[in-house]
Each structure stands twice: as structure tokens, then as C-alpha cells.
Chain A
């Protein structure tokens, strides 16, 4: 079963606009990661934020984590057509090995 939910399930915006995706989870976590997947291919790691961090930046990506609300958001600024993909959040448990629990994903479409 999925750890949580992502919102929205699908998002369509114009190139140059910002895209925000949200992720909620159910159990306590060690870290939360965001991945991108293009058309049924492998996943590409975007960013990892640990449970003691509140915000993290990487290039045009900004991730926030609110452990009290068990939620995270991914902001992509100045979107490009190449950002069109599915985005997944995944949580790592406090104890255990490299087991990620994924959300259902957000399908992002950037219109030129």
C-alpha cells in the first residue's frame, strides 16, 4: 500500500510558470525524497530532505518538509518543457534499510 498521497494527481501549466506538488505521508520518517520519471522509464533522484530539515534547494527545485503535518512540497520554478514528467515523493522509515515507500505521483505537463 502507498505511504501517502500526492496532490494534485495531474498538473498542466505554461512554460515559465512555477509548479507546486504536495505530498502527504502517514508514518514517522527518517527522510523524504523526490524522484522524476519520464514516460515509464527509470526514476531519477531529485532531492533528499531529512526529517530534521525544513527546507532544501537544488537549482530550480525547492522542497519543504513539515513533519508535524506529515507533508512535503516540491516547487519547480521557471518550468521548462523538459520538466514534463511524473514526480514521486518517497519516504524512508526511521528504522530499516533502503526501503522507500512511494506516493502515487503527480503527472506534470509543461505546455510550450
Chain B
């Protein structure tokens, strides 16, 4: 099976702009999670989607949003970009059957730089 893919891999934006990142999970995986990684805060959970519904959300402002489509592909959007949004954004998918925890499979990430 193909792994988790994320597009674009690199992105440069300026303050105030908005950005949309895309994630295609492993075929058959219905859970998609997003994480932000920065040198200062480390890896932080943004949100998780399952069957097109946001099931969990981290402590991020409303400028961060996401959605999941019927084919499980997911997008996250950041509006009104700030310098502090510069980070590696990682998407992870999981087969998750029932309420049991499964390992998460991560994509290569999108490196966002805000100037």
C-alpha cells in the first residue's frame, strides 16, 4: 500500500495570507490526524477527523481548521498566517477499528515558512 502523502512538501507564505495543506491517508484508513511541530513547542496535536467528522481538537486558535472528505482525504487550513505558524505540519492516518488504539502512520510533512 502507498504511504501517507502530503502536498505540498514546502510552502512559503507571508503574514496575513491563508494556506491549505492536503493529506491523503493510507487506503482503508478512516482516521486522519494533524500535528504541528516546532523547535520550541515540539509536536502538538491539532485535530483528528474520522468519517468526515472532527472528533478531537487540540488547543489551537480558530484560525486553524480542517475537514475530511468522503474518501478520507483531509485538508487543513490556516487563515491570517502569523510568523509563529512556521512549522512542519504532519498528517497521520490510522486504521482504528472500534475504540481501540492503533499505531499512526505519518506522512513526510509540509514545511510551512511564514515571512
Contacts and interface: CB of A to CB of B under 8 A. Distances in A.
Given A2-B42, A88-B43, A99 B56 contact: yes
Contact of B107 (A2, A31, A42, A103): A42
Interface of A: 2, 30-31, 33, 35, 40-45, 48, 50, 88, 90, 92, 96-105
19 contacts: A31-B101, A33-B104, A40-B88, A40-B111, A42-B108, A43-B92, A45-B103, A45-B106, A48-B102, A50-B101, A88-B43, A97-B48, A98-B33, A98-B94, A99-B45, A99-B48, A100-B104, A102-B44, A105-B42
A42 B109 contact: yes
Contacts of A100: 33, 35, 45, 104
A31 B100 CA distance: 10
Interface in B95-115: 96, 101-109, 111
B16 to A, nearest CB: 26
A42 to B, nearest CB: 4
Interface of B: 4, 31, 33, 35, 42-45, 48, 50, 55-56, 58, 88, 90, 92, 94, 96, 101-109, 111
A105 B102 CA distance: 21
Contacts of A43: 90, 92, 106
A44 B108 CA distance: 10
Contacts of A2: 42
A98 B31 contact: yes
